[in-house]
Chain A
Amino acid sequence: MSAFTQEDRSLLADSINRFVADAYGPERRAAILTSDEGFGRAEWATYAELGWLGIAIAEAHGGSGGGLAELAVLMRAAGHGLLMEPLLPTLVQAAGALAGGGSAAQQAEWLPAIAEGRAILAFAQDNAAQDEAPVIAEATGDGYRLSGRRGFVLYGAAADRIIVKAERAGQPALFLLSPTAPGVTLAHARSIDDRPVSDLTLDRVQVAEADRLPGGDAALLERLNQMAALAVCAEAVGAMQAANRLTLDYLKTRTQFGTSIGNFQVLQHRMVDMTLAAQEAAAITWAAIGAASIGAAETLVLTAAAKARSAAAARLIGEQSIQLHGGIGMTEEYVIGHYYRRLMLLETLFGGAGWHLDRLGGWTAAGIDGEKA
C-alpha cells in the first residue's frame, strides 16, 4: 500500500503545478528545448530536492514509499507543463525494474541515486510489446556478451545506465548497461516531441552476471509495461486538460465576424466533444491506476481500455486544438503545437490504440473479465 493519503497527493499535485507555473515558463522551456541535452539538469536537481524523484521509491532506499498513484500525479503534471525531463524512463521504467527485479546490491546502488537525482537511467526495449529484433545475451564464463540493436531509447544520451531488454537462453532478461562500455554505440536524435532519443547498437558488449536483474523476467516486463502505459495515460490526461484549457480560452477570446468564435455552434460542439474525451480518458486512467495500485484482477482490461481511450482522446484533442486555433496553432512559437506533438508521441508509447484494442477484443471475445487468459 502507498504511504500517501489522498491529501498528500493533492499537496504533491499543487507543489508540482506551482513549480511549473513559476519556474517552467515558455522562456525557460524554450531554452531547454534548444539545449544540447534537451532537458533541464537544474530542474532535475530541483525535482530531487522537492522529493519528486523518490516518490515511488521505498523509504529504505531514500524515497517516500509511494507507488503508481503518486507517479501518476507527477506524470499528469509533467503532461500539463510539457516537462522535458526523463521522468518516464528513470522513475517509472528503470526504478520500477530495479525495485521489482533488481538484486539487493543493484537496488542499494541505484535507487537512492535516482531518488537523490544523482543518476538518470534509460530503458531499451522495442517500442511496443512486439520484439522484432531481440538483443541476444550470450553466456560467457563469468557473464554475458550482448549484441543487437534497440531503437527509440528515450534519454539514452544522458543515461548513466541503460537497462536493456535482451534474450537470454530464449527468455527475456534485463541488464544494467553502461553506455561507455566497449561495443556500445548510441546515435542521437530528437523525438517528435523534442525529447532526446537514441538508437542503441550493441556489438559483443561484455556484461557481468552482477549486472543482470535477477528478477527481470517476462512477468516483470509485462507489469512494467502496464505501469508505464498507465503513467503515459496520466501524462496524456495532463496534456489534454491543458490543451483543452488553452483552446477554450482561445474560443472565448478570438474574435471573427464580429463575435467571439466560441459563439459558433460547430465549434461549441467540437469543444464539448474534446472535453468529454478528456473526461473519459481521465476517468478510465484513474480507474486503471486505482486497480493496479491494489493489484486487482481487472487491472489488465482497465489498462488496455485506458490506453485505447486516452489514445483516441489524444488524437481528437491534439488535432482539433490546432484546428480550432487556426494559423496560430501551426506555429512553433505557440505552445499548442507542442501539446499536439507530445500527445502524438504518448499515443504510441507502450502499445498504440490498435495493439491494446486487439488484446482487449480478444479477452472480451473469450469472456475474460479481469484475470489474464
Chain B
Amino acid sequence: MLGIDLMRDPAIQAFRADVQQFCATHLPRDIRDKVLAGQHLVKSDYVRWQKILFDKGWIVGHWPRPYGGQDWTPLQRAIFDDETSKAGAPWLTPFGVCYAGPVIYTFGSQAQKDRYLPGIRSTDTWWCQGYSEPGAGSDLANIKTRAVRDGDHYVVNGQKTWTTMAQWADMMFTLVRTSSEGKPQNGISFLLIDMKTPGVTVRPIISIDKCHHLNEVFLDDVRVPAENLVGEEGRGWTYAKFLLNNERLLGAEVGKSTRLLQQLRRTLADIRDGGRPLSDDPHWRRRLGELRARLLALEAVCNEYLAAAEAGSTPGLEVSALKIMGSELIQGITGAMVDALAVKGLVYQTEGLEPGWQTPPVGLPGAPGMIREHLHDRATTIYGGANEIQRNILAKAVLGL
C-alpha cells in the first residue's frame, strides 16, 4: 500500500484526530505558548505534560502492552509524534521512554524492569544519555570511560559530554568500556548510573544560543552496583544499536518542521519591507514554496517507510535518509526565519526567552525564540550521527560503494 493511501485509512485518520483532539483539550496553554514562542521550558513543564500523557496511557504508547504500552505500530507512533509537535507540545524527552525503557524491558533483568520502568512511565525519574565523550563523537565505539569490576560493584572513571538535560537527571544510562580486548565495540557495556552517586559531577555547557541544555558529566571512582549492568557485559554496543534502530523512523521530525513552517509563514506576513509584507514578495513566496515542497516530499518519503513497516518489514539502514532530509529541512526553515528577521536587524534579546517577560521587545516580537531555534538547530546535522556519517552509511550499506 502506498503511504498516502495508508494515511487515508479510516482507523489511522481516527487515531490522528484523537491525538489532535487530546492536544486541543489537554495540552496546557501556558506550556504550549512557551513552546510556540521558543521560550525556556523548565523541568516541571516537561514533567507536567508527560504526566498528562501518562494518565492518558500514551506516554509509552509504543511500548508492548505487558509493560504498560499500547503496542502502537511505528505509524501510530509517528502520527502521535507529529501531531503533538504540531500542536506545540514540548519535545517528548526521549531518554527515559524511548531509550532507557525499551533497552531495559528488552534486555534488562526482572529486577531492573520492576525498579526502573514505573518511574520512566510516570516521568518520576528523569533520565539522561551518557554516550558521547570528548574523544568519541562520530566514532562512538572509541569510548574510554572505564568500568572495572570490584566485588559486587563497577568502579567507573571517565567523562561523558553533550549530555542533554543531565542537570535534571536522576539516572544516566551509560556506555562504558569493560574490556580493551578485541574489536572496540566488543568491550562496551550498558550501565545504569544513579546521578546522586558520589563521584558524579555535572558541569553545564552553554551553547551558541546562550542556553543551557548540554552538560559534561565527570565520573570519578563512581561505585555502581553490578546489578545495574543491563544484559551481558560486552554487549552494550548491540543494545545501543537496537535502540538506534527503534528511533530511526522518527528522525525526520515532520511535526516540528510543520510547526516551524507555520511560524515562518506568520513571520513573513508580519514583517514589512518596502511598504508591503515579505509574504507578498515573489522571492519570498518562491522560497516558502520550496520549503513547503520539501516538507511535503519528506512527509511522503516518511509515509513510504511507515507503510513498509506497517506491512511488516523492519526498517534498515536506508532510513538514514530521513535524518538527513529532516535535519536539513529544519535548518532550511529556521535559516529562512532568520533571513526574514534580518530585514529589521538581528537583535537577540535573550531576556525574551524567559516566560512572562513583559518589557516591550527591542527589535521584532518573537525574534528571540526564532533566533534561539535557529542557533540551536545548527546541531541537528551534528547530533545522533552527523549527516556526513549518515551519508557514509547510505553510501556503504545501501549503495554498496
Contact = CB atoms under 8 A, between A and B. Distances in A.
Contact of A330 (B342, B382, B391): B382
A326 interface: yes
B307 interface: no
Contact of B206 (A187, A333, A352): A333
A341 B343 contact: no
B338 interface: yes
A29 B141 CA distance: 37
B356 interface: no
B363 A199 contact: yes
Interface in A65-123: none
A174 B371 CA distance: 32
B348 A192 contact: yes
Contact of A264 (B273, B338, B382, B388): B388
Interface in A315-337: 319, 322-323, 326-327, 329-333, 337
B378 A319 contact: yes
Contacts of B350: 190
Interface residues of A, number: 41
B208 A191 contact: no
A132 interface: yes
Contact of B381 (A323, A331, A332, A344): A323
Given A256-B138, A256-B139, A332-B210, A190 B349 contact: yes
Interface in B331-378: 338-339, 342-351, 360-363, 371, 375, 378
B115 interface: no
B348 A330 contact: no
Given A189-B347, A190-B347, A130 B273 contact: yes
B207 A332 contact: yes
Interface in B27-79: none
A258 B239 CA distance: 24
A246 to B, nearest CB: 14
Interface string A182-206: 0000011111110001110000000
Nearest to A264: B388
Given A330-B378, A333-B206, A192 B362 contact: no
A264 B339 CA distance: 32
A352 B345 CA distance: 11
Interface string A120-144: 0000000110101000000000000
Contacts of A257: 138-139, 142
B207 A192 contact: no
Contacts of B135: 255
A348 interface: yes
Contact of B348 (A190, A326, A337): A190
Contacts of B132: 327
A348 B345 contact: yes
Contacts, number: 119
Contacts of B383: 327
Interface residues of B, number: 46
A155 interface: no
B375 to A, nearest CB: 8
A52 to B, nearest CB: 26
A132 B347 contact: no
B205 interface: yes
A337 B375 CA distance: 9
A256 B378 contact: no
Contact of B362 (A127, A188, A322, A344): A188
Contacts of B349: 189-190
Interface string B144-164: 000000000000000001100
Nearest to B206: A332
B137 A151 contact: no
B163 to A, nearest CB: 11
A128 B361 CA distance: 20
Nearest to A323: B381
A345 interface: yes
Interface centre among A151, A192, A347, A354 (most CB of B within 10 A): A192
B347 A331 contact: no
Nearest to B162: A327
A365 interface: no
A151 B142 CA distance: 50
Given A132-B275, A267-B388, A352 B342 contact: yes
Contacts of A198: 362
Contacts of A191: 345-348
Interface centre among A199, A319, A330 (most CB of B within 10 A): A330
A294 interface: no
Contacts of B207: 330-332, 337
A152 B378 contact: no
B378 A322 contact: yes
A354 B339 CA distance: 10
Given A266-B388, A326-B382, A341-B208, A152 B275 contact: no
B362 A187 contact: yes
B379 interface: yes
B226 to A, nearest CB: 31
Contact of A132 (B161, B205, B273, B361): B273
B259 interface: no
Interface centre among B208, B210, B344, B348 (most CB of A within 10 A): B208
Interface in A127-170: 127-128, 130, 132, 151-152
Contacts of B235: none
A340 interface: yes
B264 to A, nearest CB: 16
Given A256-B139, A337-B375, A341-B375, 17 more contacts: A132-B274, A151-B347, A187-B360, A188-B362, A189-B349, A189-B362, A192-B347, A192-B371, A199-B362, A256-B138, A266-B388, A322-B208, A330-B208, A330-B378, A331-B214, A332-B207, A354-B283
21 contacts: A132-B272, A152-B345, A187-B362, A191-B347, A193-B346, A197-B363, A256-B138, A256-B139, A257-B142, A322-B208, A323-B381, A327-B162, A330-B207, A331-B205, A331-B208, A333-B205, A337-B208, A340-B208, A341-B208, A341-B375, A344-B338
The 6 A-B pairs at the shortest CB distance, nearest first, are namely A152-B345, A337-B208, A189-B362, A348-B342, A256-B139, A192-B346
